[in-house]
A and B are shown apart, each in its own frame.
Chain A
Amino acid sequence: MSDAAAHAMEHPTSTGIDSKKVAIWTLIGSECLLFASLISTYLVYKGKSLVGPLPHTESQCMLHGKMQACEPIFSIPLVTFGTAVLLFSSFFIVLALYGAQKGNRKMLVGWLSMTVLCGLFFIGMQVYEFTHFYHKGLGYSTNLFSSTFYTLTGFHGSHVTVGVIWLSTLLYRAVKGKIPPAKSINLEIAALYWHFVDVVWIVIFPVVYLMR
């Protein structure tokens, strides 16, 4: 079924645009403001921590009850790999959407599965990173860097988690054959949310991990 035919089955609106699509774009617009406040908080407090561990420089930090020298805490190769995985998940979901719109169930299920796997990998990477940082003495309230870092990346991680749950339910429906081309708009809405999660990380990755 063509895009036009699929649209013809939807409810007519005064703008000619599906209401669900306007709603998700409005949500994404409001989410921009949420992440802007978190990113600006991180930047405002950047470089103002009195004790370590710090992201890019060696410092003195409290570990096991005594002050000692701490190495820089970030592992850039790991996060770069996670970033690449998240970027490719955006590619995979547009292919899944293409398959859904063309009525190609195999393509839909295959690429949507890949997208969910990429999302799960990213969450796993973040859980590993947070655990690793905690064991190196970086708790939530250790310093200004840790509080703003965990809040910003934690909020993003929770959005990825919501996205993975949303896409998993759609994957289940796709496997059952319940996403025909006429209902591909449901996947398109979820894909828009997923891309937003990706573009937020496109900003967070250089701001938090690469700017010294």
Chain B
Amino acid sequence: MDAHSEVHAEHAHPTPGLYLKIALVLFVLTAFEVLAFEAGRGGLGAGIRPIFEPITVVLLIVLSAAKFALVAMFYMHLKQDPRLLANVFIFPLVIAASLIAGLIVLFQYWRVVGAK
């Protein structure tokens, strides 16, 4: 298989049926995000607040990452398109995530050091 036919074979995009399923999953995940937020601030009852409050941020990060991955893989066709395109996207994405994490850690560190 030469390079061109390999690209065409990989290029078969999903069907509208799969697109609809992804849309519904995204909608449900968004609903879960809002429910996690409400549970964490006691909007769904004071009883479950102590359970959800410490894990709300982690839950939101996981749900958001899942939605991000679904859109990138299926709607942006990274799952089907040539790997080069995924690399062009993922490399700066890793740098971006590292930048966010690095700055948060740095400023938290200086806040602790500055408080002493």
Shortest distance from the beta carbon of B7 to any chain A beta carbon, whole Å: 4
Chain A contact-residue range equals 35 or more
Known contacts A3-B12, A7-B7, A22 near B88 by CB under 8 Å: yes
Task: Tell me, yes or no, whether A205 is within 8 Å of chain B by CB.
Answer: yes
Number of A-B contacts (CB under 8 A): 145
Q: Assess the B96–A22 pair: CB atoms within 8 A.
A: no
| Mask of A31-54 contacts with B, CB within 8 angstroms, 1/0 | 011011101100110000000000
Asked if B67 contacts A211 (CB within 8 A), the reply is no
**Residue A165 at the chain B interface, CB threshold 8 Å:** no
Residue numbers of B with Cβ under 8 A of A are: 3-4, 6-8, 11-13, 15-16, 19-20, 22-23, 26-27, 30, 33-34, 36-37, 40-41, 56-57, 60-61, 63-64, 67-68, 71-72, 75-76, 81-82, 84-85, 88-89, 91-93, 95-97, 99-100, 103-104, 107
Choose from A32, A76, A87 the contact partner of B37 (Cβ within 8 Å): A76
Query: Are A16's CB and B6's CB within 8 A?
Result: yes
The listed residue (B6, B41, B61, B95) touching A206 by CB distance below 8 A is B61
For the A-B complex with A91-B75, A210-B34 known, give 9 more contacts whose Cβ atoms are closer than 8 Å.
A3-B13, A29-B93, A43-B103, A44-B107, A80-B30, A87-B27, A95-B16, A195-B76, A206-B60
User: In the assembled complex, which residues on chain A have CB atoms less than 8 Å from the CB atom of B26?
Assistant: 87, 90-91
